[in-house]
Structure 1
Amino acid sequence: MQASPEHPSAESRRGTSRKGMPVKAFLLFWFLLIILGALATYLYSNHLKQEMLNEMQTHTNQQIQALKTDYEKQLAALSKEVNGLEGKVQSFNELLTFTKDNANNKTDNSNKLYTQLNEVKQQLNTLQKKMDLLK
């Protein structure tokens, strides 16, 4: 019995199916390889992006801390200057008050007595020197 060309035999059908399977497996393998490569690329790029963001955050935090430290130093220096100026302003206020009191017609009698006492001391010192010269 010869096989007719219309109906291929079981052997010929197996042969064509064997040739088709390696091609399908090869294409499936490459398709899976491409998908896995794309997935790996996507995951790696996300990993790199996250690392870069972490580095930028660390750098930004360091800069903020440096600015904060510098700001606190400047604030402390200005605070010292303000305290010094407050002391000077207080001294000037006391001096102005004293000058105002002395310029006023109603000057305190204690200020007059203190001035007179200083004048008497100066005169006494002058007399003491003259007496020492006479001896």
Structure 2
Amino acid sequence: MSTSLQPASAPAAVRSAKPKKSNARAYVLMFFIWAVLIGLGLWGGKLYTDHIRMQITQDIAKQTGDQLAVIQQEYERQVSELRTSLTADMAQMQAKIDSVNELLAFTKDSANSKTDNSNQLYTQLAEVKKKLDELKKNLDALQ
């Protein structure tokens, strides 16, 4: 049972000389494949991030456009309401101004020696009231 280790080591030495050349080629080939895979991965990552960036930009642009449309509609609604309320307020103010002008005209006519029909009516009513008061006094005196 004595086996020698030398014959086994001799073929190992022969094998070790040959694989060094193929090992170097294998390492170079593996390095090249590894570099190509890394390059393809980086290129694919860049393409994917560009695609995602474009998609996000389009989504943000759409959302911004929608928000601006809503804001514009709200602004136009508020301006319309403001115009309506201002028109109504101006009509009320015009009615008040007209009534004050009528009152001023009546007061001016009352202060003037010349009177118009409305002032004459007021004067006639005052005279009728005076006559009524006199008639009441006369009636009271007769009783």
TM-score normalised over the length of structure 2: 0.62
Q: Judge which range, 108-117 or 44-53, deviates more.
A: 108-117
Equivalent pairs: percent with the same residue? 30
Aligned-residue RMSD, C-alpha: 3.5
Structure 2 match to 1:41: 49
Structure 1 match to 2:62: 54
Structure 1 residues 113 and 38, CA gap change in structure 2 (3 angstroms):
closer
Structure 1 match to 2:106: 98
Q: Highest CA radius of gyration, 1 or 2?
A: 2
Deviations 1:61-112 (A, max 9, x none): 2123223222322332222111101001011111111221221123347733
Q: Judge which range, 70-79 or 104-113, deviates more.
A: 104-113
Correspondence list, 1:1-135, <5 A: 21=29, 23-108=31-116, 111-112=119-120, 114-120=122-128, 123-124=131-132, 127=135
| CA distance in 2 between partners of 1:55 and 1:118 (Å) | 76
Q: One-letter code of the match for 1:102?
A: S
Structure 1 residues 59 and 27, CA gap change in structure 2 (3 angstroms):
same
Structure 1 residues 36 and 123, CA gap change in structure 2 (3 angstroms):
same
Unpaired runs of 5+ residues, structure 2, are 1-20
